[in-house]
Amino acid sequence: MGVFRAAAIQMRSGESPERNAADFERLVREAALRGATYIQTPEMTGALIRDKQARAASFTSEDKDIIVSAARMLAKELGVFVHVGSTAILRADGKLANRALLFGPDGGTIATYDKIHMFDVDLDNGESWRESAAYEPGTEAVVADLDGTKLGLAVCYDLRFPQLFRAEAMAGAEVLSVPAAFTRQTGEAHWHVLLRARAIENGAYVVAAAQGGLHEDGRETYGHSLIVDPWGRVIAEAAHDEPAVIVAEIDPGQSSAARKKIPNLRNARDFTVSSGVDAAPLLRGAAS
């Protein structure tokens, strides 16, 4: 769609989908008033709930979800692309998906993406997470069309798997999305450097809407929503953990320019790994 304005919405989602939906609507409207035609929200826009029983009682199917309904309505009313960074969706098999959803200016669904990489980690100071205990991982990377601009979809912990973003860039993505709920501990250590690295490696913009602050369920997230250009420069940041809207201009031509200067996508080669085993795997440059 040529040059356009993108917004990343920073939230502090609580345990009530209804309250979160009201905050979501207010912030999306603010982003549209500031000229954004692509508006991204963070991971788990609908609710952040640690308790298993409360989570089961709050989440529902896509056709009944309050955030999905609000996103469709706002996209159509405002004539913008609304990207719900993710929300918990009850699948037909009874399992939960950590699902991103992209809606077009007509209110229709352009694409959905289920988070592939589950955040199963043990951090310092006793902080431990097992996302796979609550959610079923996705199996398919997705590149969606924003009226001629290609958008690669990802969610939070996916950021630590560069092969996903490389595959999306090789499929034409000029903008990469990383809506997230990064913990404060990991965010302080790695958030900025990983987002800038994914932009530089792929010659692509990165838009990363984040959760921030102390949430009702006790977790603490880092905030610092970012928009990074294809040369790795931060062009917009919410330099705190409070709810906010950041906006920046996206020029897909800058992605092409960066890739011409450093044509690493084109220069990628297949290779093997010599590890002393009989059958060394063949790796592709696009996924290594």
CA angle 256–41–210, rounded 5-degree value? 90
Q: How far apart are the first and last CA of the chain?
A: 31
Catalytic residue among 18, 30, 140, 156: 156
Integer angstrom CA distances of residue 8 from 72, 96, 190, 217, 244: 18, 25, 19, 23, 8
**Which residue type, as a one-letter code, is found at position 115?**
K
CA angle 47–235–116, rounded 5-degree value? 40
Is position 115 annotated as part of the catalytic site?
A: yes
Residue 232 burial class via C-beta count within 10 angstroms: exposed 0-12, middle 13-18, buried 19 and up: middle
Is position 156 annotated as part of the catalytic site?
A: yes
Bridge partners (DSSP) listed for residue 227: 207, 236
Token representation of residue 44: 């788990």
103: enclosing H helix or E strand: strand 96-103
Catalytic residue among 62, 115, 150, 237: 115
- The span from the CA of 276 to the CA of 162, in Å, is 25
Integer angstrom CA distances of residue 102 from 138, 252, 267: 16, 19, 32
Catalytic residue among 18, 25, 30, 43: 43
Is position 216 annotated as part of the catalytic site?
A: no
Quote the distance between the C-alpha of residue 264 and its chain's center. 24
Catalytic residue set: 43, 115, 156
